[in-house]
Amino acid sequence: MDVNLIEKLVCPNCKKNFSIFKVLERRNNDLVGGILRCSCSSYVVVEGIVVFDLDKNRELVQVMTTCTDYGKIRKTVLKFFVSDKHFEAIHSGKSFSEVVNVVYNKSFADYLVYRYSCKSFFDSIPFFVCMKQGLILDAGCGAGHFSNLMSQYMPESKIVSVDQNFVSLLIARNFFGMNNLLCFNMDRIFPFEDRSFDTILCNDTFHYLNNKQFIALEFQRTIKKSGAIFISHLHNALKENYFAGTPLKPEEYKSLFSSSRLYSNDSILKDFFLNDILNLSINSFISDINNSQTISLVCSEDKNLFKKYFNLSKFFYKRMPTYSLNPIYKVKKDGEKTVLELNYPSIIFKKEHELKVDFLPQLVKLDNKDLFAKETLLRLMKLFVFVKPLEKVFEKLIGTCDC
């Protein structure tokens, strides 16, 4: 937990700011283990993650108050959140793929390993060009894929990553290097002051939330007047979706957010892929929206946000000087050629996540001599065959490109 973020947090009960009551371990600005206090309660910081679960805090604060050496109680404290098996997997130096296959079931592990090949990933990407820089909330961040991407594409911004699942946050910290991590259930009052954030992103999550009306109000309370909320990849209740959650109809989503517009994800993706644009100026026909399997909602009082954005690829490639092969591709050498073959991990994954637009080609054949040519790279980046690397996650870092 970056100590500079602590002054921006408020207690959900007394609404007062926190002070650091006890430091058990601190590495520069990173508070790894400790206790925060406001005028009514104490909240623990475990592995750099602030825990807002009051029941857990009651017991943990006692354990941590009487101790001075975080190293000695680290395992005891972590037992409140994570099994020994999962703890060992996360800290054993195993690869990302190995760890998530120990911690989650196969289907969710595949979702995480091949996150950069899921429709629910692409549906969010075009919005990066119009996100407001500054303090950004990744609401329901999961293992941290989007938090990390935003921190790479928007290095001037500070990303706050929130999830109710402590183990996912631990993975976000260990593999994605995130350090403003808060563990709380968004069904409760958020620990932020009014008008805190420049951008709120909630991707592939809102349809899973129970208390949508309350959470929509919390998003609108905590976003700045000039800020923007992106609720991307929303399951549409009028259409079928795998692991649907509790989706609403498009009009019902819209009724939760004032000054908002809905977009069909397929239209946004087609524009991104074919025309290199993001068009937020359109008022889509409700029939188009109702017919879309997934939609995105953008909410902002800033009318200037709702315009047409051009040359999206420039934004992405400029900020992508190094690249990795998307892990969904298998590499084969065939004499003078290198063959990249799209290799879905399962039939279910393909059905759930396959894209209707032409990203991720089935087969890419490249002359070995052209493999690292700039034109080849740009073409393959545009198709998401090459993606922005996360060495710890992808393992196979291919190289650098002066785009």
Ligand X SMILES: C[S@@+](CC[C@H](N)C(=O)[O-])C[C@H]1O[C@@H](n2cnc3c(N)ncnc32)[C@H](O)[C@@H]1O
| Interacting residue with ligand X among 13, 157, 164, 293 (CB under 6 A) | 164
| Interacting residue with ligand X among 47, 53, 123, 204 (CB under 6 A) | 204
Closer of 164 and 338 to ligand X (Cβ): 164
CA 254 – CA 268 distance, rounded (Å): 18
Q: Smallest distance from the beta carbon of 65 to ligand X, in angstroms? A: 27
Amino acid identity of residue 33, one-letter, is: G
Do 384 and 326 form a contact (C-beta atoms < 8 A)? yes
Q: Which residues between 87 and 146 bind ligand X (CB under 6 A)? A: 115, 140-142, 145-146
Tell me which DSSP letter residue 1 carries: -
Three-class DSSP category at 226: strand
Stretch that binds ligand X, among 65-73, 181-189, 264-272, 313-321 (CB under 6 A): 181-189
Measure Cα distances from 12 to 38, 186, 198, 217, 338 in Å.
10, 11, 20, 15, 55
Closer of 172 and 312 to ligand X (Cβ): 172
Q: Smallest distance from the beta carbon of 377 to ligand X, in angstroms? A: 26
Residues that bind ligand X (rule: CB under 6 A) add up to a total of 18
Query: What token pair was written down for 9?
Result: 């947090």
Do 116 and 384 form a contact (C-beta atoms < 8 A)? yes
Amino acid identity of residue 211, one-letter, is: N
Q: Which residues between 234 and 293 bind ligand X (CB under 6 A)? A: none
Measure Cα distances from 301 to 56, 223, 286 in Å.
38, 10, 21
Stretch that binds ligand X, among 36-44, 76-84, 93-101, 185-193 (CB under 6 A): 185-193
Q: Smallest distance from the beta carbon of 209 to ligand X, in angstroms? A: 5
Stretch that binds ligand X, among 160-168, 336-344, 352-360, 380-388 (CB under 6 A): 160-168
H-type helices in 230-373, by residue range?
A: 250-255, 265-270, 286-290, 312-318, 347-353
Closer of 101 and 168 to ligand X (Cβ): 168
Closer of 229 and 401 to ligand X (Cβ): 229
**Nearest position to ligand X, beta carbon:** 142
Stretch that binds ligand X, among 204-212, 318-326, 330-338, 365-373 (CB under 6 A): 204-212
Closer of 299 and 364 to ligand X (Cβ): 299
Measure Cα distances from 32 to 27, 45, 119, 131, 272 in Å.
7, 7, 35, 30, 40
Q: Smallest distance from the beta carbon of 176 to ligand X, in angstroms? A: 11
| Interacting residue with ligand X among 13, 17, 97, 165 (CB under 6 A) | 165
Closer of 12 and 140 to ligand X (Cβ): 140
CA 335 – CA 317 distance, rounded (Å): 30
162-166's contacts with Cβ under 8 Å and 24+ in sequence apart are 162/137, 162/138, 162/186, 166/49, 166/51, 166/81, 166/82
Collect all residues with Cβ–Cβ distance below 8 Å to 373 and sequence separation of at least 6: none
Three-class DSSP category at 156: coil
The widest CA-to-CA distance across the chain, in whole angstroms, is 70
Q: Smallest distance from the beta carbon of 120 to ligand X, in angstroms? A: 6
Stretch that binds ligand X, among 83-91, 183-191, 285-293, 300-308 (CB under 6 A): 183-191
- Cα torsion through 73, 77, 78, 79, rounded to 10: 110
| Interacting residue with ligand X among 185, 241, 338, 376 (CB under 6 A) | 185
296 binds ligand X (CB under 6 A): no
Stretch that binds ligand X, among 5-13, 49-57, 200-208, 307-315 (CB under 6 A): 200-208
Q: Smallest distance from the beta carbon of 147 to ligand X, in angstroms? A: 9
Closer of 36 and 150 to ligand X (Cβ): 150
Residue 39 has phi, psi (to 5 degrees) of -80, -15
Closer of 168 and 284 to ligand X (Cβ): 168
Q: Which residues bind ligand X (CB under 6 A)?
A: 115, 140-142, 145-146, 163-165, 168, 185-187, 203-205, 208-209
